[in-house]
Amino acid sequence: MKKWITAVSSLIMTCMLATLVFGADLDEIKTRGVIRHIGIPYANFVSGAGDGMEVELTKLFAKSLRVTYEFVQSDWGVVVQDLIGKKIKVAGGKAELLENAPIKGDMIANGFTVIPWRQQVVRFATPTFPNQIWLIARADSRIKPIKPTKNIDKDIQLTKALMKGKTVLSMEKTCLDPTLYNLAATGASVICRTGNLNEMAPALLNKEGDLTILDVPDALVALEKWKGKLKIIGPVSDKQQMAAAFSPDSPQLLEAYNVFIKKAQHDGTYLALIKKYYPTASRYFPEFFKGMK
């Protein structure tokens, strides 16, 4: 009897450890009957109220798989950890995997920017949104927008020159991390905020800094929400892309999502969501949406 109890206990422990360390691929998700969408309330991707562009897309993906949709809220400091089951240390643009952590979901989708350190630890799907980092000021600021030169490197240089001697808001471990854009070399006083990316524009309006960097979707939402109170100064990065992220242990799930996104981007489903949540996006990035119906 004791041997039987020991064997059962060992089996249970093994199953628990497997859940802790390994993510679920497509077959496991279909067997489970649920796909867990990890997200962070941000811009119009995840509203926190049960909708948002990425929420609607992922619900449609779940429907295509004939499984139930489940939302798992996370935050920027642990969102990758919640997907891959490993704590992560990021330094010098490189990600180091540390001890195990609980796996809480099957995919990340909340306007997740493709940046180098993330590419080292997750697998990105077909891009779902164009991105770029912009420098933003209050409308009453004396800092004037740059005059575009048609050379992105030159435009970035001109924009960064305007940061000298100013306080610039940013946020570590996100696409606004100052180390990604070498903001320390601009002569600016960089202020790293904590919390949610949605709070960056309000913090600027509350005069916590002279300037802030914002990514495109958050900037578009802020410009619409606070009309006439903010202005775009210029680019701080080259063009980027956002995409859903998957564990390296889930290649079949990633492939299924890529098939789903390709279909959605050519049958009108995707563009309908863009027009609903980001109606001005195609004006700034027409080449990204070219060819989509």
CATH of the domain at 22: 3.40.190.10
Say yes or no: 141 and 122 in one domain: no
Same domain, 177 and 221: yes
- Mark whether 161 and 229 lie in a shared domain: yes
CA distance 107 to 247: 7
Secondary structure letter of residue 117 according to DSSP: H
Q: Are residues 101 and 46 in the same domain?
A: yes
DSSP H stretches of helix in 143-215: 152-161, 200-205
How many Å apart are CA 276 and CA 44, to the nearest integer? 10
Same domain, 162 and 197: yes
**Contact indicator for 71, 105 with CB cutoff of 8 Å:** no
The answer to whether 70 and 37 have CB atoms below 8 angstroms apart is yes
pLDDT of residue 9: 46
pTM above 0.75, yes or no: yes
- Name every residue whose Cβ is closer than 8 Å to that of residue 166 and which is 6 or more positions away in sequence: 143, 188, 189, 209, 210, 211
Task: Give how far Cα 289 sits from Cα of 58, 85, 87, 266, 282, Å.
Answer: 20, 34, 36, 10, 6
By C-alpha distance, which of 206, 174, 210, 173 is closest to 191?
210
Q: Which of the listed residues 238, 262, 277 is the one where a domain comes to its end?
A: 238
Q: Are residues 226 and 252 in the same domain?
A: no
* Claim to verify: residue 157 and residue 124 sit in the same structural domain: no
Range of the domain at 171: 133-238
Each residue's pLDDT expressed in tens, for the chain with a length of 293 residues: 544 444 444 444 444 444 444 458 999 999 999 999 999 999 999 998 899 999 999 999 999 999 999 999 999 999 999 999 999 999 888 999 999 999 999 999 999 999 999 999 999 999 999 999 999 999 999 999 999 999 999 999 999 999 999 999 999 989 999 999 999 999 999 999 998 888 999 999 999 999 999 999 999 999 999 999 999 999 999 999 999 999 999 999 999 999 999 999 999 999 999 999 999 899 889 999 988 87
- CA geometry: angle 174, 152, 94, nearest 5 deg: 35
Same domain, 174 and 257: no
Among the candidates 200, 215, 238, a domain finishes at: 238
Residue 54 to residues 59, 163, 211, Cα–Cα distance (Å)? 8, 33, 28
Kind of pairing between the strands at 133-138 and 189-192? unpaired
Among candidate residues 220, 238, 256, the one where a domain is terminated: 238
Which pLDDT score, from 0 to 100, does residue 7 have?
44
pLDDT attached to residue 264: 97
- 176 with 268, same domain: the answer is no
Residues 53 and 118 in one domain: yes
d(CA 202, CA 226): 9
Number of domains in the chain: 2
For residue 141, the model assigns a pLDDT of: 97
Q: How far is CA 204 from the centre of its chain?
A: 21
Neighbours of 11 (CB within 10 A): 10
230 with 280, same domain? no
Examine the domain organization and report whether 6 and 146 are in the same domain.
Answer: no
Helix H or strand E encompassing 240? strand 240-242
